[in-house]
Amino acid sequence: MSVPPYRAVLFAGLAFALALPLLAGVLGLDYAVGIATRILILALAGIGLNLILGFGGMVSFGHAAFFGLGAYTVAILSHHDMTGEAFATWPFEIGGTVAAILAWPLAMAVCALAALVIGAISLRTGGLSFIMITLAFAQMLFFFFVSLETYGGDDGLSLLARSSAGPLDLHDPAQFYFLVLAIVLLALAVTARWSRARFGLALQGIRDNERRMRALGFATTRTKLAAFVISGAIVGLAGALMANHTEFVSPSFLSWQRSGEILAIVVLGGLGTVFGPVVGAVVFFVLEEVLSQWTQHWMIVFGPLLVLAVLFAKQGLWGLAAQKLARHD
């Protein structure tokens, strides 16, 4: 029995991800679990952005907005849980919470709602205007949180504790890691399924030729908006996880550099490929890790590398690899 190389690589990756906490423990590299968690969270943000960028051809330069909104939702709820003050008293009293089962879906809902509003306005435009208006909305929210003195303003807001998740103890690095891994795997499965279902095909058709899709009778704007909302919610969940990971949120979660980073992760990995964002996130952080050990000015190397990657590795790393592997299938 032979396993096709494409699958073999995926299984090897999965096995490595599952064994990582154990390996790290044995090798005495306990901090690696934290780094891996961080990589997975950014991969999740990439998976969310890839849905509209890779499959839908919508270049959003403002997805950090949803990352930050998700993170702030968790942090603000936790803040109110600590102080005991209600978050809102009208129309009914809303208190704080640290329960993941409440806070995380709420973070996704807040982001979905924000994405609905932002998407409904932004999708009226296209091309450069779309890039810029998504950036503008992210900047708006960025400055909103900068001025929001109640929740730390510029200085950000610390979480007293990570979310509580039933029997799991999220303060245990391995347990938190496995929870994040499970969420990422679920998101990958959903993407894989969706990209081949009617919705995914319609989205890819719109990416390739929207005018033709309309002429065929597709309600293209509605399809794009639905994808935008789902994408926002996934990135929001990534933000909620990141707030838990760093136990701190600040307006920099919503900065335009962060939006650029998520874009870079998706493109480096491979646009419109299911596993691309994971590969992109791994490469991004391994590069950062390696380069920053070499020099504190690692950006001076990373910047030109990014330019070269755009110029010469258009399909992204996973795109290239998948092609090579498929040839041996």
Cβ atoms 70, 107 nearer than 8 A: yes
CB of 182 to another protein, least distance (A): 20
Quickly list DSSP for 166-228: TTB-TTSHHHHHHHHHHHHHHHHHHHHHHTTSHHHHHHHHHHH-HHHHHHHT--HHHHHHHHH
Q: Which of 146, 155, 145, 158 is nearest to 74 (CA)?
A: 158
Residues in the chain: 329
Number of residues that bind another protein (CB under 8 A): 66
Quickly list DSSP for 94-109: B----BHHHHHHHHHH
Listed in sequence order, the DSSP H helices in the chain are: 5-27, 31-53, 64-83, 100-122, 127-147, 173-194, 198-208, 210-216, 220-246, 256-269, 276-294, 299-312, 317-327
CB of 136 to another protein, least distance (A): 4
CB of 269 to another protein, least distance (A): 12
Q: Which of 6, 55, 61, 178 binds another protein (CB under 8 A)?
A: 61
Nearer to another protein, 171 or 314 (CB): 314
CB of 103 to another protein, least distance (A): 24
> x-or-dash pattern for another protein, window 213-252, by CB under 8 A?
xxxxxxxx--x--x--------------------------
Quickly list DSSP for 260-275: HHHHHHHHHH-TT-SS
Nearer to another protein, 30 or 125 (CB): 125
Packing angle, helices 317-327 and 276-294, rounded to 10: 120
Q: Which of 110, 165, 183, 202 binds another protein (CB under 8 A)?
A: 202
- Using CB under 8 A as the binding rule, whether residue 198 contacts another protein is answered as yes
Contacts of residue 200, defined as CB under 8 A and 6 or more positions apart, other chains included, come to 55, 194
Q: What's the rounded Cα separation, in Å, for the pair 138 and 233?
A: 15
Cβ atoms 58, 125 nearer than 8 A: no
The number of angstroms, rounded, from the C-alpha of 127 to the middle of its chain's C-alpha atoms is 22
The number of angstroms, rounded, from the C-alpha of 295 to the middle of its chain's C-alpha atoms is 28
CB of 198 to another protein, least distance (A): 5
> x-or-dash pattern for another protein, window 12-51, by CB under 8 A?
----------------------------------------
> x-or-dash pattern for another protein, window 98-137, by CB under 8 A?
-----------------------x--xx-xxx-xxx-xxx
Residue 88's SS3 state is strand
Nearer to another protein, 89 or 125 (CB): 125
Nearer to another protein, 79 or 245 (CB): 79
CB of 23 to another protein, least distance (A): 32
Structure tokens at 99: 């329960």
Nearer to another protein, 82 or 301 (CB): 301
Nearer to another protein, 108 or 131 (CB): 131
- Using CB under 8 A as the binding rule, whether residue 264 contacts another protein is answered as yes
> Could you list the residues that contact another protein (CB under 8 A)?
53, 59, 61, 121, 124-125, 127-129, 131-133, 135-137, 139-140, 143-144, 146-150, 193-194, 196-202, 204-205, 208-209, 211-220, 223, 226, 256, 260, 263-264, 267, 297, 299-300, 302-307, 310-311, 314
